Structure 1
Amino acid sequence: MPLELINPEGLPTPESYTQVVAASGSRMVFVAGQVADDAQGNLVAPGDLSGQAHQAFANLGRCLAAAGAAPEQVARITIYVVSHKPEYLPLISKARIAVFGDHKPADTIVGVQTLAESGYLVEVEAIAVV
């Protein structure tokens, strides 16, 4: 198994991610930040964080598959959220679980003022070890 998920003693065991992921494998896959675009480059779910999160995570899953990687091989994700608030976490978690299921890679959620283009509310990037 290329990933060892570790929650060290003395730290809380998070519900939706793992504190430490130790990776071994011969190939690393780096997925650029994915936003809520459809195949034609149109923004999906304008103004709707939940809808955009589902699309961004689905796009991340498509990128992984195209590189021959599976969601359970992802060691780390970074999630950027415009004007992040703690109450957004359940919406983001639901979209994340739709792609990752029970797999909990290490992650960081970063609140940002804006993303690359107007209208985007969430962006997700990943590192997988195959």
Structure 2
Amino acid sequence: MTVDLLNPDDLPTPTMYSHVAIATGTKLVFIAGQEPEDLQGELVGPGDLAVQARQTFANLSRALAAAGARPDQVTRLGIYLVGYLREHQAIVQAARYEVFGDHKPTDVMIGVAALARPEQLIEVEAIAVI
């Protein structure tokens, strides 16, 4: 499987993602929205986006591994943040980097009013090609 990530010259170059992902492979993997929960389903880091983001991306990494996918095979992320503020980008990027390193799949970051649990601040879904 190969993923070619592109940023066209006639678009601004983003720092956290790529504009285009061209994937060649044989299997698509869709990862449901991962939440900031521990193995027992308990919310981690109430009120702390940094802690919740790290747990969420760690859970995403485990879900990818269960499907036989690696982070560098992810082509798209959907990131949902409660009460989104621009300064949240740096917090999310730090947690994201722990899993993806320099791999920058396409993404969307969406501010939402609420998620499944009232204390939940972030949820992340993914698509990979393996």
Deviations 1:5-50 (A, max 9, x none): 1101110111111000011110010000001000000000011000
**Matching residue of 2:79:** 79
**Matching residue of 2:67:** 67
**Matching residue of 2:103:** 103
Q: Does 1:88 align with 2:88?
A: yes
Q: TM-score, normalised by structure 1?
A: 0.98
Deviation >3 Å, runs of 4+: none
User: Shift in Å at residue 118 of structure 1?
Assistant: 1.2
Q: How many residues matched?
A: 130
1:16 is paired with a residue whose SS is coil
1:86 is paired with a residue whose SS is coil
1:63 is paired with a residue whose SS is helix
**Matching residue of 1:8:** 8
User: Shift in Å at residue 125 of structure 1?
Assistant: 0.2
**Matching residue of 2:58:** 58
**Matching residue of 1:20:** 20
Q: TM-score, normalised by structure 2?
A: 0.98
Structure 1: gaps of 5 or more residues: none
Instruction: Report the residue type matching 2:91 in the other structure.
Output: L
User: Shift in Å at residue 51 of structure 1?
Assistant: 0.3
Q: Percent identity?
A: 54
Structure 2: gaps of 5 or more residues: none
